[in-house]
Amino acid sequence: MSYKIISSQCTACSACEPECPNVAIYEKDGTFVINPKKCTECIGYFDDAQCVAVCPVDNTCVIDNSYPRYQAQA
């Protein structure tokens, strides 16, 4: 799986962008989006998903169930 940003809730504050260890977050059409190919759910880096922890609007950075669960590379 990957995280995604609910764009209707995103304030475009940009707080999440520099926190992502995988540089998966970028600005697109006035809000921020996550590249699911790059997002590792922060596994291998931090205990908490950084975008979730820093986002000022609750339930804006959420798990995207349309992707399989990320497997940490052994």
Contacting positions for ligand SF4 (CB under 6 A): 3, 5, 10-16, 19-22, 24-25, 32, 34, 39-42, 49-51, 54-57, 60-61
From 3, 5, 8, 13, residue interacting with other proteins (rule: CB under 8 A): 13
Site for other proteins in 49-68 (CB under 8 A): 50, 52-54, 56-57
CA distance 62 to 49: 10
From ligand SF4, other proteins, none, which one binds at residue 4 (CB under 5 to 8 Å depending on kind)? none
Q: How far apart are CA 58 and CA 43, in angstroms?
A: 21
Least distance to other proteins, CB of residue 37, Å = 23
Q: Exposed/middle/buried for 33, CB within 10 Å: 0-12, 13-18, 19+? A: middle
